[in-house]
Structure 1
Amino acid sequence: MNKNYEIHSGKLKALSDTNRLMIIDMLSCGELCACEILEKFNITQPTLSHHMKILCECGLVLSRKDGKNNFYRLNELEIKGFKAFLSDLFQDSDDCICK
């Protein structure tokens, strides 16, 4: 497994915010419109846009525009790799940096 610590640390930084963690949790149920996400938070639309930009830039979330609405969903392929990285990080493995 390629342990690209820099890329994965960006994902961890993106997830270090409570609101972004909650957004990821919401998106685990499926694709949502930005307006549906915004309903659950006491934040402004520009603040939500900022959070979504960070989640998209780190690769955990994908977005698409349909008319005036932005829709977001989890990037399952990227999340699969991130989960594998975390699993490998917390256990002894052949490619551990201590070896």
Structure 2
Amino acid sequence: MATRTPPRFVPTLTEVVQSGPVPLAAAPGLSADQLAQRVLQRVDLALDRRLREAIATVVLEQSSAMVPLLRERLESVIHELVAEAVAEEMQARQRADAGDV
């Protein structure tokens, strides 16, 4: 196999880069405590947003599941209230008619 010389502007790897988590003390200009505080703030904000989204999803799911039951109970309550109101009105008319006689 022939050895080719790479073109002049092709970047070449000159040092081995180790990947992995950056140590807290490696951030320039920040102490480990300052960096930890910033990271905790970011986590707190992200956690707050995601928690709100999760709660909203659960509430929506539960609300959707409750609609048929609530509708049934509401219908029953309204039916009872109307029946009571009609019965009271009929009794009031009967008393009024009895008083006129």
* TM-score bracket for this pair, using the shorter chain length: under 0.3
Tell which structure's C-alpha radius of gyration is larger. 2
Q: Taking structure 2 as the reference length, what is the TM-score of the superposition? A: 0.23
Q: Taking structure 1 as the reference length, what is the TM-score of the superposition? A: 0.24
Higher relative contact order structure (alpha carbons within 8 Å, sequence separation ≥ 6): 1
Query: Which structure is higher in helix share?
Result: 2
